[in-house]
Amino acid sequence: MVEVLLHAAGGLDRQWASALLPVFLIWLAVYLLLSGLDDLALDVVWLFAARRSSAPAQPVSGPEKRIAILLPLWKEAGVIERMLDHNLASIRYRNYEILAGVYANDEETRRAVERAAARHPQVRAALVPHDGPTSKADCLNWIYQRLIEQEMHGGAAAEIVLIHDAEDLIHPDSLSLVSRLTTEAGMVQVPVLALATPLHELTHGVYCDDFAESQTKDLVIRAALGGFLPGCGVGTAFRREELEKLAEAECNRLFDPAALTEDYVVGLRLHELGCRQVFVPIHYENGDPLATREYFPRGFRAAVRQRTRWVTGNCLQAWQRCGWGRRMRRPRLQAWFFWRDRKVLWGSWIGLLSNLIFLWALVDWAASKAASETWWLGEAIAGHGWLNLLLAANLALCCERLAVRMYCSARVYGWPFAAGAPVRMIWGNLINAAASLRAVWQFARARWTGEPLRWLKTEHSYPSLETLRGAAALSAQAAAAAGAPQQASPADAAPAATDWAVSTAPDHLPAIAAPAGAPGAGCAAQLDRRVLRALPAQLCDELLIAPVRIEDGCLEIEAGGDLPPRDARLIADRAGMPVRFVGVPRERLAQLRNHRDAPPRRWHPAPGGSVTQPSCPGSAPQ
């Protein structure tokens, strides 16, 4: 039976070689060559120009500009309170407010926002008067209208508008950076990076690779060459004067309600109005990349759903609206970037098909060797010398493409994670192919029926203390294996993503122990600063507490006095795990606070060694 199957495979091989090679394989190879040269051109420009672009974070000189953060929401009751609590505790900026847009028929999300607003004066609910979901752009328009109404009734006028989503971990210094850069630019995009996840999570790993590459290379070069800068959906800041120009040009409609990717469209429209757009290159502070971090979809279906919206908006709707940019400034350059944006419509299918053909050829070669027969496909290719050269060139371009992608991923997540990029690239082609097919079908159906395209909701998850602690361990291992700089002593480790974390309340609230000076009164230098920063610093200072260690799944917290039940419950809420309190003298808390806030020490190795410095979850310093 095995011999029969092998002979049948050989027959199919000969049929393929004689019938399909002259037509199909040649055209496929030609397209892959052109696409590979397109990618190579951008990579060459990046190698020569990207290193010159820098925007180091500097403290804001003079008074802080008023920033309004717009937060469009739909069915986000499960995550929005934790997101607001965490970000409000971690942001190192004072002059800002958050306007959370809620729909009239989304009662749970509205109540969650109102609960957060009762705790935080910076938070306000901005009601969308009609039922949702419509589109993110429509929600943002209504939030902006509420901001104008608030200002008309005596509220402080916002000088900058910043867009974020319900799952975002906002970097503590991003608002300061935005305040500084909007002095010279009308639109500023802060990098967006996925949080690190284990290697076996292929779908989320695709997002890690995609955003690491786009934020390291593609968008940096795009802005440097003068192409229009599409927003990333979050971390996008606009100077108020530019939004007023946009409102005047678009009949007071900032964001196109029909657009599924309003960030792409608004970047395009602002470029057409002559707005200067700046993308902030990724740089690190004590090993921490200054970027917005978040979890992206971690399942295949959720990823296809989200990318369907991206392909529909960025490719099909933008194509319908402005063609290939013939009326824009520098039309040839814009057409090149439009081409690169829209290649996913057909390129994902061609890439997936190429992957399958390669795997099939590999299996067929192994079967031919096992049967001691001639590999007919190899002979057919060898009979066309020019086709041999074409396939060799495509192989070289594919290796170059993989090398650049792995380098970009390794800069953020370490080389062990980047080593999985070839497998994730194949998986990403499958996701993008499914999303492209679905996008074309939905767009064509909407055009045929006249029904508007709807906001395709993606389920959001906000990282808890435990999940971020796990991400920290994974990233530290990745950075160590990659030879990335590390801190010499755990006591001096840089703040991990845990100091951004907020979680749900535990099932029970342990009783408060009061034996002053009992366990936990050891030397502060022996404590891991990642644990000291597991709770917001402002909360710890106000309540005279300090988290010191985690034992048996319980967070031990030292307190400078008796805590009212309400405060104890708030602390347990923020910890996201069972807590145990120990009473200590206030002098002990002062020592812990100084240790927590002290800058990380630099360790200088012996000659021939490497300088180590802090690392953080999902990142590796340059």
Long-range contacts, 378-384 (Cβ 8 Å, 24+): 379/17, 380/17, 380/18, 380/21, 381/21, 384/21
**Distance (Å, whole) CA 212 – CA 329:** 29
pLDDT digits (tens, 9 = 90+) for 374-432: 777 777 777 666 778 888 899 999 999 999 999 999 999 999 999 999 999 999 999 99
Q: Specify the residue for token string 């004689």.
A: 18
Token digits of residue 56: 């180091």
Long-range contacts, 427-432 (Cβ 8 Å, 24+): 427/202, 427/203, 427/205, 427/206, 428/206, 428/209, 428/210, 429/348, 429/351, 429/352, 429/355, 430/352, 431/203, 431/206, 431/300, 431/303, 431/304, 431/307, 432/307, 432/311, 432/344, 432/348, 432/351
Surface-to-core class of residue 428, CB atoms within 10 Å of its CB (0-12 exposed, 13-18 middle, 19+ buried): buried
Assign residue 571 the CATH number of its domain: 3.30.300.160
Asked if 520 and 593 sit in the same domain, the reply is yes
State mean pLDDT over 493-521. 34
- Residue among 54, 71, 57 nearest 176 (CA): 57
For residue 419, being part of any structural domain is answered with yes
Residue that wins the pLDDT comparison between 324 and 249? 324
State mean pLDDT over 139-150. 90
Residue 420 identity (one-letter amino acid):
G
Surface-to-core class of residue 441, CB atoms within 10 Å of its CB (0-12 exposed, 13-18 middle, 19+ buried): exposed
Phi, psi of 277 (to 5 degrees): -115, 135
* Lowest mean pLDDT across 188-197, 298-307, 449-458, 517-526: 517-526
**Distance (Å, whole) CA 307 – CA 451:** 20
Q: Helix, strand or coil for residue 226?
A: coil
Asked if 421 and 526 sit in the same domain, the reply is no
For residue 167, being part of any structural domain is answered with no
For residue 232, being part of any structural domain is answered with no
Asked if 422 and 487 sit in the same domain, the reply is no
Residue 463's pLDDT is what? 52
Asked if 499 and 588 sit in the same domain, the reply is yes
- Residue among 296, 50, 342 nearest 169 (CA): 296
Chain mean pLDDT for the chain: 79
**Distance (Å, whole) CA 452 – CA 445:** 10
Token digits of residue 276: 């200067």
**Distance (Å, whole) CA 271 – CA 262:** 14
Confidence of residue 582 (pLDDT cuts 50, 70, 90): confident
* Lowest mean pLDDT across 90-94, 270-274, 565-569: 565-569
Could you tell me if 182 and 605 are in contact, meaning their C-beta atoms sit under 8 angstroms apart? no
Q: For strand 292-294 and strand 192-194, is the pairing parallel, antiparallel, or unpaired? A: parallel
Could you tell me if 381 and 388 are in contact, meaning their C-beta atoms sit under 8 angstroms apart? yes
Q: At which of 394, 411, 427 does a domain end?
A: 427
Report how many domains make up the chain.
2
For residue 194, being part of any structural domain is answered with no
Long-range contacts, 3-12 (Cβ 8 Å, 24+): 3/371, 6/367, 6/368, 6/370, 6/371, 6/373, 7/371, 7/373, 9/364, 9/367, 9/368, 10/368, 10/371, 10/373, 10/376
Q: Helix, strand or coil for residue 443?
A: helix
Could you tell me if 184 and 55 are in contact, meaning their C-beta atoms sit under 8 angstroms apart? no
Q: At which of 396, 412, 427 does a domain end?
A: 427
With 60 as the cut, is the pLDDT of residue 622 above it?
no
Asked if 526 and 591 sit in the same domain, the reply is yes
Confidence of residue 27 (pLDDT cuts 50, 70, 90): confident
* Lowest mean pLDDT across 121-135, 471-485, 487-501: 487-501
Q: At which of 360, 393, 427 does a domain end?
A: 427
**Distance (Å, whole) CA 282 – CA 217:** 10
With 50 as the cut, is the pLDDT of residue 250 above it?
yes
For residue 26, being part of any structural domain is answered with yes
Residue 15's pLDDT is what? 55
Instruction: Mark 467-493 as b/e (b = at least 16 C-beta within 10 Å).
Output: bbbbbbebbbebbbebebbbbbeebbb
pLDDT digits (tens, 9 = 90+) for 260-269: 888 999 999 9
Residue that wins the pLDDT comparison between 551 and 324? 324
For residue 275, being part of any structural domain is answered with no
Asked if 504 and 591 sit in the same domain, the reply is yes
For residue 355, being part of any structural domain is answered with yes
Q: Residue 284: which region, alpha, beta or left (left: phi > 0; alpha: psi -120 to 50)? A: beta
With 50 as the cut, is the pLDDT of residue 21 above it?
yes
For residue 137, being part of any structural domain is answered with no
Give the range of the structural domain holding residue 19, as residue numbers without chain letter.
2-50+346-427
pLDDT digits (tens, 9 = 90+) for 157-176: 999 999 999 989 999 999 99
- Residue among 491, 561, 556 nearest 524 (CA): 491
pLDDT digits (tens, 9 = 90+) for 311-359: 999 999 999 888 898 888 889 999 999 999 999 999 999 989 888 888 8
Q: Residue 264: which region, alpha, beta or left (left: phi > 0; alpha: psi -120 to 50)? A: alpha
Q: Residue 73: which region, alpha, beta or left (left: phi > 0; alpha: psi -120 to 50)? A: beta
